[in-house]
């Protein structure tokens, strides 16, 4: 019988020190929620409270640790799980061209 092997999840593609938002990205209101749209790729993300705040702060503060700390301070959320959530969203946004690492 063959042994089962579990492969690690792919590492996020973090290739720079700060992020920039795509100038093509658009936030649209659809009913009671905001949707972040990447026109070039067709990617779209419904934004919850964390996503909206992250997108807003990202326009002024492109450093991930500062983003996490600012959201943690405002919301009172635990730093480590919040950092994982923020990084996961940023990587997903990167994959459709909404943000780029510089």
pLDDT at residue 11 in the model: 47
Task: Choose among 29, 35, 37: nearest CA to 47.
Answer: 35
Q: Are strands 26-30 and 33-38 parallel, antiparallel or unpaired?
A: antiparallel
Average of per-residue pLDDT across 42-68: 88
> Domain spans of the chain?
19-100
Compute φ and ψ for 100, nearest 5 degrees: -140, 145
User: Residues of the chain with pLDDT > 70: what percent?
Assistant: 83
52's enclosing H/E stretch is: helix 49-58
Mean predicted lDDT score pLDDT of the chain: 83
For the beta carbon of residue 13, count every other beta carbon within 10 angstroms: 9
């Amino acid at each position: 019988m063959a042994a089962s092997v579990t492969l690690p999840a792919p590492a996020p593609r973090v290739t720079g020190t700060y992020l920039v938002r795509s100038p093509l990205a658009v936030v649209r209101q659809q009913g009671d929620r905001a949707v972040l749209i990447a026109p070039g790729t067709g990617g779209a993300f419904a934004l919850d409270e964390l996503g909206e705040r992250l997108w807003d702060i990202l326009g002024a503060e492109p450093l991930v640790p500062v983003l996490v700390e600012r959201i943690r301070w405002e919301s009172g959320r635990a730093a480590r799980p919040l950092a994982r959530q923020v990084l996961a969203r940023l990587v997903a946004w990167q994959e459709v061209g909404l943000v780029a690492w510089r």
